[in-house]
Amino acid sequence: MPTTERRPILLDFEKPLAELEARIKQIRELAEDNDVDVSIQICQLESRANQLRHEIFSNLTPAQRLQVARHPRRPSTLDYIQAISDEWIELHGDRRSGKDDPALVGGLARLNGRPVVMLGHQKGRDTRDNVVRNFGMASPGGYRKALRLMQHANRFNMPIFTFIDTPGAWAGLEAEEMGQGEAIAYNLREMFALDVPIICTVIGEGGSGGALGISVGDRLLMFEHAVYTVASPEACAAILWKDASRSAEAAEALKITAHDLKTLGILDQLLPEPVGGAHADPLRATEILRNALMQAMQELLQLTPPERRQQRYQKFRQIGVFAETLTEEED
């Protein structure tokens, strides 16, 4: 059966690189058609393309990193779970509403032979799939399903892995009627009390309380080009300046990148991505993630449940440290 090659989805800042790669391809095809040896020139151009790729992705602005985090072909929660686990069984339903929320998936898995629970937000691959998945915006039932799975993990002494990738919780009228705020707040409280290791990873876009609802853990990992923010830059700009077009300015001020959060002490481990982003080399990104999760799990398993709970509590108590400055009059 013939296969069709997927056309690349280019971000604005990738266009110079795409033009250079297109030029390399054109020269190679012309050389083959005319039986001309241009291997040296091709090698030089490919070296320049690699250099340009490194330059572009090592100097991204917060707004550009947000574009990478939202890339349609960036690996999703299910992509990572199926790739890193030895065995995976998805479980459904919150046992309360009689429904299942496809925007938040979870189930039982084996990681290096050990039974674990994995769950996370799930975005779609295209418009139709995104509508089904509600663009990764979970409903109250999704957060209640997540808590049900985490309590199951706690009951049977299984480490918990969560994967964050959402613009925020679903803000629809029905979600509010079903208790969206209560569902997220309840998760926050209950996750602090769980005995088993909890390892949370921001794999793409971590937005608002929708992200935080499955982010209370012993370790917070984050991919290099992922973002984690109290509100989307577009929403922030619209609230502060009544102008969503100033989202790039808001992204800079919000400190949403992994590097910013590592500096602020919120992030425990920054995971490097393949040059070009996780979507450029999903297998390599999966390998990086799996190794980091294995290491974090082994470290946390050395602690007793009370030690894990206490460290988890102290971790969040230390977030948000500030300093007061006195005015001349007060001094």
3-state DSSP of 180-226: HHHHHHHHHHHHHHCCCCEEEEEEEEEEHHHHHCCCCCCEEEEECCC
Tell me how far apart the alpha carbons of residues 52 and 27 are, in angstroms, rounded to a whole number: 19
Domain edges within the chain: 14-55, 65-317
The CA-based angle 75-51-261, given to 5 degrees, is 50
Strand 198-207, strand 227-229: pairing = parallel
pLDDT digits (tens, 9 = 90+) for 272-303: 999 888 998 999 999 999 999 999 999 999 99
* pLDDT value of residue 4: 45
pLDDT digits (tens, 9 = 90+) for 249-275: 999 999 999 999 999 889 999 999 998
Q: Which residues contact 42 (CB under 8 A, 6 or more apart)?
A: 24, 27, 28, 31
pLDDT digits (tens, 9 = 90+) for 52-84: 788 788 888 999 999 999 998 999 999 999 999
- The CATH number given to 65-317 is 3.90.226.10
